[in-house]
Amino acid sequence: MAVSRVHVTGTLLSPDGLPLAGASLTFSLSATSLATDGAAKPLVVGTSRTVSDANGAVDFYLVPNQGLLPEDSFYIVTITMPDKREVTERWYVASSPSPVDIGAISRVP
C-alpha cells in the first residue's frame, strides 16, 4: 500500500494578484517526519520542488500532514519569484480524495 498523497493544482498568484509564471516552490517539513506505507517500513518525507508554468499554473503532490509523525508538522513553503524575491508560508495539507486548489490549502500562522 502506498503512502497517500494530495494532488494540488491551480494558479500561483503574485502579491498583486496576477498569475506568477516561472516561480519556484520549495516544500520542506517543519520536522523530520515519517509516514507509513501501511505495510512494513516508515518512509521519511523530505524536500521537494516545483515550478509554475508560463500561465502560473502548478500541479504537484504532497503527503498530507494528517498521516505524518510527529502530528504537529507543517510544510514550510518558499516561493521564489523570477526576480528572486522570496515569500515563505507555512501550510497544513489535509487529506483529500480529489485535487485541491492551491488557494484552498490551510496556512498556518
User: What domains are there in the chain, each with its CATH number?
Assistant: 6-107 (2.60.130.10)
Contacts of 77 (CB under 8 A, 6+ apart): 25, 26, 27, 88, 89, 90, 91
Task: Tell me the per-residue pLDDT of 34-56, one tens digit each, with 9 for 90 and over.
Answer: 776 555 455 656 789 999 999 99
Instruction: Examine residue 15 and say whether the peptide bond preceding it is cis (omega within 30 degrees of 0).
Output: no
pLDDT computed for residue 68 by the predictor: 81
Using an 8 Å Cβ cutoff, are 24 and 3 in contact? Answer: no
pLDDT computed for residue 41 by the predictor: 53
The continuous run of DSSP H or E covering 79 comes out as: strand 75-80
